[in-house]
Amino acid sequence: MVYIGNWVLNSIRGNDRFTDYDVVESKVFAHCANTKMRSLFEIVEGEVLPSAAYEEGGIHEAIMEYEDTVFFEILAEELSRRDMDDADIRQDNQEELNTRMNEYMLEFEQNGVENLELEK
């Protein structure tokens, strides 16, 4: 969980990282040394880092699956709100929003973005 959180916060920041999250990640992974999980970390230039085996063991696939799900959920909601003329969502139109979102989600599950078209 620490790795995922640090990835979400820092993966797009380049050199402008939140280094305190790197420190927390290193501390957590350092605890693996006292367990049967030594393969989860490595020491590089004196710093405890997640090992290549850890990083290549499926964690990024899980992150990508999460990102895809969030992308499609946000897109479905934005398109649904657009279709409703960006009306404020209240109790009386929440069901309409949910219905529209479910229709978009079904489309995305079946076809991804293949049928999306952008018009100027």
The owner of tokens 């305190």 is 20
Q: Which pLDDT tens digit goes with each residue over 24-53?
A: 999 999 998 888 888 999 999 999 999 999
* Confidence check: pLDDT of 69 > 90: yes
Distances (CA, A) of 5 to 14, 42, 66, 120: 16, 19, 13, 38
pLDDT score of 8: 93
pTM of the model: 0.76
